[in-house]
Amino acid sequence: MAGYKIPDYLENYKRLVMHNQFFHFTDKRWTQILYDDRENELITVYAVFWAYIIPRSVSIQRLEIAVQWSHWLCRFREACRCAIKSSELASVYALGCINGMDAVVRGEEPEIEGTEEWRKIYLFYDTFRKRMYETTEPEFHDRFRTDMESMLSCYLKEVHTDLFHNVPEWTSHQIRASGGRIICRLVEWMNDIQLSNKMIEGPKLVEMEECIGNIISCQKDIFSFRKDYIAGNENATYNTVQIIMMWEGKELQEAIDRTHKLAMEHLYRVQVLNREIVHQVFEDKLCILEVTEYVAALERIILANVHWRSGNRRSFPDVEMADVVTNTLVVTIPPV
């Protein structure tokens, strides 16, 4: 396994026509967020993501919460999956930690004594939830809690599931496990869009959010494959490329191309749904401004993910390797 070529994402997604960031990193508000020297690079990475999505008028408080929440979600997912896969005992521990997180999501006290890492995870989420709920309506609280519980149920499934046996089963799981729906809720909040449950839970908007979750997951899995493989996770069940190789018998480059094709199919569907949703709200003359703003913000998630992953040092921590990938799109894999 010498290497593979990744898609030219910036070329493929330029049709979204969202190349100008809403923020510039010279904006003094960014410097108020990038304060943690120990994790400054990671925080900066998430700031790049949100810079493509949020309006310039967003408050510093919301901006800070969104950037830190993105970092929290990454730490939470990695903590779950490390605990799940390390040993049978750790799986029991992971089950307890996830159940503890579920209690925090419901506004209750977790019943377990976690490690210092897990206590930080619980505390941050509880603080985040309270700060966000101060500026949102009860309907939004219900949606956010439901999507968080759905994501947690996916991690509980991973405790008991060694393998996903086909690609459709995996993609159905990944829609909820990726945190894509949670990002959609944050986009709704960051843009101060007030939509009713009836509107948000309409079939077209739900499908659009699910498609975006799939696109995000496919992009992530293509970029993270090298890192996972080097770490010895070539048989892990958390990567679309790996799932396709295992269950469709594809070679690596074929699996990369197939994963990219899945993302592009979902992108096409997002654009169709965008037109249908906008047409529908103009016919009904209901929440026209809010819905069109929300749909546009959802599309920006896709481009934001492309830009921050293409410059993300987590996938290619070696600067020289990252530069090679940027210039040639070729990813080499050393012997392991």
**Predicted confidence (pLDDT) per residue in 114-131, tens digit:** 567 677 777 777 777 777
Q: Model-level pTM?
A: 0.82
Tell which residue, 210, 215, 216, 209, has the closest CA to residue 188: 209
What is the model's pLDDT at position 259? 93
With 90 as the cut, is the pLDDT of residue 86 above it?
Answer: no
Query: For the chain, what percent of residues have pLDDT higher than 90?
Result: 8
Distance, in Å, from the CA atom of 309 to the CA atom of 57, rounded to the nearest integer, reads: 25
Distance, in Å, from the CA atom of 318 to the CA atom of 322, rounded to the nearest integer, reads: 6
CB 239 within 8 A of CB 221: yes
- The stretch 262-279 carries a mean pLDDT of 90
Residue appearing with tokens 């603080």: 127
- The stretch 50-69 carries a mean pLDDT of 75
All residues at 6 or more sequence positions from 90 whose CB lies less than 8 Å from its CB, including other chains: 82, 83, 84
DSSP-derived pairing of the beta strands 330-332 and 3-5 = antiparallel
- The stretch 47-51 carries a mean pLDDT of 73
What is the model's pLDDT at position 36? 47
- The stretch 150-178 carries a mean pLDDT of 74
- Tally Cβ neighbours within 10 Å of residue 322: 16
With 90 as the cut, is the pLDDT of residue 255 above it?
Answer: yes
Residue 190: pLDDT band by 50, 70, 90 thresholds?
A: confident
For the record, the structure tokens of 213 come out as 């979750």
204-228 per-position pLDDT tens digit: 999 999 999 899 889 888 888 888 7
Tell which residue, 192, 182, 200, has the closest CA to residue 56: 192
3-332: CATH number: 1.10.600.10
For the record, the structure tokens of 285 come out as 């003359």
- The CA-atom distances, in angstroms, between 105 and each of 53, 93, 97, 200 are 25, 18, 12, 21
Average pLDDT, the chain: 74
Phi, psi of 332 (to 5 degrees): -100, 145
Residue type, 81: R
